[in-house]
Structure 1
């Protein structure tokens, strides 16, 4: 029986146009379709596979505005048991450190049906809207627990987590005692599609909502005004052009090579 928390995030759909808000230059989340982050789906899937093999409970945790409820319901429809939603306007524009601090505080509030805290925390290795890739490690530091990051294969057994991390230098084996936080990459699994039964069941599952006050987090320590980094200006990407067409009259290959050299691609 394993107590598992999965960190999830709602992000703008990859296929939607993304833009920054006027004024504070934060991501305009209302300007694009919102979805459960693709890597988070794999994190949820991995938690469900562990539960199906060993028993236990899976709780998803997300920080975000009201709209994030849609991503939470998607995770619940896949098979997660419960959810915790940290929803507070003061979180707007928080950086990775502030987000990690808030999520660590929320993790301290989560208790499972057996009365015990989380043993395994699973997250994606990075979110597609920011690609910072540091939040799991930040949470591990705040909670004082080990971290296994960028994992492509995970095993939970005998009170420890072990896994494989693939890098340009090769594949490395990692191991740590529980409790542990694990971030997974796109090779970890293929997430399941929610069934109709799962979608209907998700509507009745428990979702607990916390504010910063509930977590004991000072609003003056989070949010865009208190972030460690500031965006001072932005420039929209230029519109797509038709490009340059090369007609092959026997010298097509040479012209293509010359173009690539001129663009400093080769």
Structure 2
């Protein structure tokens, strides 16, 4: 059985983000990049699935050489093989999905794990797009997973609760916080990762379907105002909420 994980290399959410000089991208000066947090749950679930069912794991990432840093972390955690679809180009979500789907097909993976979203653009659609392109079943925002033979039972988060979905392989699963607790790379795993090669491939040329016209930061938060300190301020507060803020 082939188990694939799609991994992204993203700015640390603790980093201070500024818009770049072109007003279409971020300024990466001084930015720390890390494994996409939701993808860590995907890596852990791939490892757990292999431990239970056997097979071979592969991590796939689309990007430049910097992505090797995150790929190496997945290898140190225990992933068997790695593929970097090497490019300096910026892809939109559908182009990312098409490129990853081509590699998943080439790998003949039956189970594919994604994080539920990537924290850089937060679109949360690439996993489902890949499933549609490949004709795979798909379950998103998964917080519990059971695979027995060809049968898949997944529990996913929905607004106000959870639902249980049953489907079959091949399947794409997008992972949510709570599915597992990602392991730390052991010293043995780190040393083993140094011997694992990262296969580099040139992705097929694709045309983006969307274009970023401009980026800008949200307006600065306005300072608060004290209307009064007793009940006499209530009429004025209600007026402001109705006429100025327009929330009631």
- Report how far residue 141 of structure 1 moved: 1.2
Q: Report the counterpart of residue 116 of structure 2 in structure 1.
A: 125
Q: Does the 8 Å CA contact 2:19/2:216 hold for their aligned counterparts?
A: no
RMSD (Å), alpha carbons: 2.7
What is the alpha-carbon distance in structure 1 between the residues aligned to residue 190 and residue 229 of structure 2?
Answer: 58
What is the alpha-carbon distance in structure 1 between the residues aligned to residue 213 and residue 147 of structure 2?
Answer: 45
What is the alpha-carbon distance in structure 2 between the residues aligned to residue 88 and residue 66 of structure 1?
Answer: 8
* 1:40 equivalenced with 2:21 (yes/no): no
Closer/same/farther in 2, CA of residues 13 and 249 from structure 1, 3 Å limit: same
Q: Report the counterpart of residue 195 of structure 2 in structure 1.
A: 204
Q: Report the counterpart of residue 105 of structure 2 in structure 1.
A: 108
- List runs of 5+ in structure 2 lacking aligned partners: none
Q: Report the counterpart of residue 157 of structure 2 in structure 1.
A: 166
Is the partner of 2:210 in helix, strand or coil? coil
TM-superposition CA deviations, 1:46-74 (whole Å, max 9, x none):
11111122222211111011101000011
- Relative to structure 2, which stretch is displaced further, 231-240 or 26-35? 231-240
What is the alpha-carbon distance in structure 2 between the residues aligned to residue 18 and residue 160 of structure 1?
Answer: 43
Q: Does the 8 Å CA contact 1:24/1:231 hold for their aligned counterparts?
A: no
TM-score scaled to structure 2, two decimals?
Answer: 0.87
Query: What pairs up with 1:122-201 in 2 under 5 angstroms?
Result: 122-201=113-192
Matched length: 245
Q: Report the counterpart of residue 113 of structure 1 in structure 2.
A: none
Q: Report the counterpart of residue 16 of structure 1 in structure 2.
A: 15
TM-superposition CA deviations, 1:14-42 (whole Å, max 9, x none):
00012333336134445511000111001
What is the alpha-carbon distance in structure 2 between the residues aligned to residue 264 and residue 157 of structure 1?
Answer: 54
What is the alpha-carbon distance in structure 2 between the residues aligned to residue 239 and residue 233 of structure 1?
Answer: 18
Q: Does the 8 Å CA contact 1:8/1:60 hold for their aligned counterparts?
A: yes
Q: Does the 8 Å CA contact 2:136/2:171 hold for their aligned counterparts?
A: yes
- Report how far residue 195 of structure 1 moved: 1.6
Query: What pairs up with 1:83-94 in 2 under 5 angstroms?
Result: 83-89=82-88, 92-94=89-91
What is the alpha-carbon distance in structure 2 between the residues aligned to residue 66 and residue 29 of structure 1?
Answer: 15
Q: Does the 8 Å CA contact 1:26/1:93 hold for their aligned counterparts?
A: no
- List runs of 5+ in structure 1 lacking aligned partners: 111-116
- Report how far residue 249 of structure 1 moved: 6.6
TM-superposition CA deviations, 1:113-139 (whole Å, max 9, x none):
xxxx21100101101111111101111
Query: What pairs up with 1:71-86 in 2 under 5 angstroms?
Result: 71-86=70-85
Q: Does the 8 Å CA contact 1:148/1:175 hold for their aligned counterparts?
A: no
Closer/same/farther in 2, CA of residues 29 and 154 from structure 1, 3 Å limit: farther
